[in-house]
A and B are shown apart, each in its own frame.
Chain A
Amino acid sequence: MPELSRTLPAEDKLVLLPKNPGVFFAFWQFSESRADSFRAQAFAPEIELRLSYSDDKAPASAHKAQWQAGRAYLPVPPRGGSCEAALYALRAGAWEKLLESNPASAPVTAGADSERACASMEFYKRVQP
């Protein structure tokens, strides 16, 4: 998996982005103090990313990840539309909300024709010498 060559400022951050109908992309970072808490095992290493619907805040789905993973692809929940993510970590047997994301919107199903012509990929994809 490719990675950045340089270290970024350690900040608490959770961002949710639309990828396609059916999939969100989420990435997260922690401040030094939060990362230290994970390293010291004050938090369990497995975090939970919980999606909720933006309009009524109803819980939609939950997904497990390792705290160091930093990114994950999440299925768009059944109602689709605008969703928000929250990152929870387990401390002393209780889930604690650490981060909240921006809202992001995606439908559940696609309307695109798989045979459609797309842009310059058509040409770039040809085998180069």
Chain B
Amino acid sequence: MASRGSLMFLLHAHLPYVNHPQDSAFLEENWFFEAVVETYVPLISVLERLAAEGIRPGVAVSISPTLGAMLENEALEAKLGRYVDSRLELIEKELERVKDDPLLLRTVQLYQELYQEAAGLLHKYSGDLITPLKSLQHAGQIEIITTAATHAVLPLLARPEAVRAQLAVAAEDYTDRFNCKPSGFWLPECAYEPRLNSYLKLSGFNYTFTESHAVESAGAQAPNGVYSPYRTPNGLGLFARDAASSREVWSAKFGYPGDPAYREFYRDLGYDGDYEYVRPYLGSDGIRRPLGLKYHRITAAGTDLSAKQYYDPDAALERVEAHAADFLERRMKQTDDFYAARGQRPLIVSCYDAELFGHWWFEGPAFLEAVIRRIRAERLPLQFVTPTEYLNSCQEPLELSPGMSSWGENGYFDPWVNETNDFIYPAVYAATDKMIETANRFRNQDLNGSSLRALNQAARETLLAQSSDWAFLLYIGSHADYAKGRLEDHAANALRLLGEVIEKKVDEPALAELERRNCLFPRLDFKVFSSVSRF
């Protein structure tokens, strides 16, 4: 059946750079291990399974450079292997403990399958999950794009040199990782302001994404609303996020993930289990924390955690199929309504954090698979498209100059600039301004080994200080001390290194330690921060 409209799924995968090689186990590294097991492995498995059956997924995936660096970090891979082994050991004990409770046993078996799948995929690719993603892109099954080097909220970087560094380092990182130049750019937090379109175009990117209200507020300039791409005056392609399909999946209150049959995120064996029993699997401090084994379902909105009922995997899968059908029915209605009104086939752009699928919404990967399979199985007149193939085949997009926006709370930059986190910006700007000043000073000088290494490491530290994650964690009050410490450390490291270069007194052992810990962007050249006329 001929397509009546197109669907574009963009999954944005990002984690802050967390690497503590000096510690055998570090609490915040669990963010990475959990995301690998619960999100990245299941999503890769879905994409590979579909591709193997001749069903082209056709989704776009944004891999942040910090996540890419962690996925390729051998020390983290080794720790990840130990994390998976440790959970499999605990699951073996759990299988014995719950053997007389068929419903609970079924859930524990599900976790065993999940962790065995992770162990199998990691073994298959020697611990490097970039390899299958690269293969899927090479085979035309998916399109991979990038985002800012350390996921900085770009409208909050006032210096053009700082924005340029975030974009240039991201482009180089992508080219090194995926063996081709990136075409698309995911704006961190979907945070857009008008000056970014020229920066993106000058950095070689062809398209980006904005929030729906950035386009909708353009009024007559955007006659198709969010249902077609646009281009900025300098030729950058713009896709607008569709609010309806986002809300259905994103909203914990109104969306599918809040279904009573789905797994409850906040009830976990790490809190529920007998302390001595779970103690070997907690951190060295012995504090109870999530272990990733969650046996309860949401049950009902507002239900107290203690009153949650046991999860039933089969009942949850039934809801997945129902939600996939509902999602597609709503998209069909959207396409029909748009076609009736405009006589054109619409494009529906659905953008989500990848970690929603699996980590937060346990059933998310199964939902994604069900949606893609249903389009094929039911011969629905919808097709999945990737951004580049859509831009290559659509009519010349209309010109648009959208306003500022983000996908964060309230639609702008409030989560990253408010009374809980605004104190960080003097530190971010102290490092950034000093980095730019020093890059300009030394850009035409022949530098010896340690000075050059110190400048390049200062550039890494400056980029890491600019990450959106520290402000966000401070705002939500989660791991706030860690976020504050990381931000202050990176800013202080940058300032110290730059001072040492200027004074010709580089502390080599301290530099080597920083290079070992914050070892992303191996080809980074500090001159990326220097002032150039075209920006």
| A→B interface (CB under 8 Å) | 1-6, 8-9, 11, 13, 15-21, 25, 27, 29, 70-71, 102, 104-107, 110-114, 116-129
Contacts and interface: CB of A to CB of B under 8 A. Distances in A.
B168 interface: no
Contacts of A8: 426-427, 430, 491, 495
Interface in B255-270: 255, 257, 265-268
Contacts of A106: 404
16 contacts: A2-B421, A4-B427, A8-B430, A13-B426, A15-B425, A18-B155, A19-B418, A20-B411, A25-B422, A110-B410, A116-B246, A118-B409, A121-B408, A128-B478, A129-B266, A129-B268
B290 to A, nearest CB: 9
B481 to A, nearest CB: 10
B158 A119 contact: no
Contacts, number: 159
Given A8-B427, A17-B425, A116-B247, 4 more contacts: A8-B430, A25-B422, A110-B412, A112-B410
B195 interface: yes
Interface residues of B, number: 70
Contacts of A111: 213-214, 216-217, 403, 405, 411
Contacts of B410: 20, 110, 112, 114, 118
A11 B431 CA distance: 12
A4 B355 CA distance: 30
A15 B488 contact: no
B250 A119 contact: yes
Contacts of A71: 422-423, 425
A2 B420 contact: yes
A8 B214 CA distance: 37
B23 interface: no
Contacts of B211: 112
A128 to B, nearest CB: 6
Contact of B415 (A104, A121, A123, A127): A121
B405 A112 contact: yes
Majority-rule SS of B interface residues: helix
Interface of B: 155-156, 158-159, 189-190, 193-195, 211-214, 216-217, 243, 246-247, 250-255, 257, 265-268, 271, 305, 353, 355-356, 360, 403-405, 407-415, 417-427, 429-430, 433-434, 474, 476, 478, 484, 488, 491-492, 495
A79 B425 CA distance: 27
Contacts of A113: 213, 243, 411
Contacts of A20: 410-414
Contacts of A15: 158, 425, 429
Contacts of B254: 117
Contact of A123 (B194, B265, B405, B491): B265
Contacts of B422: 25, 27, 71
Contact of A116 (B355, B411, B430, B433): B411
Nearest to B245: A117
A21 B52 CA distance: 48
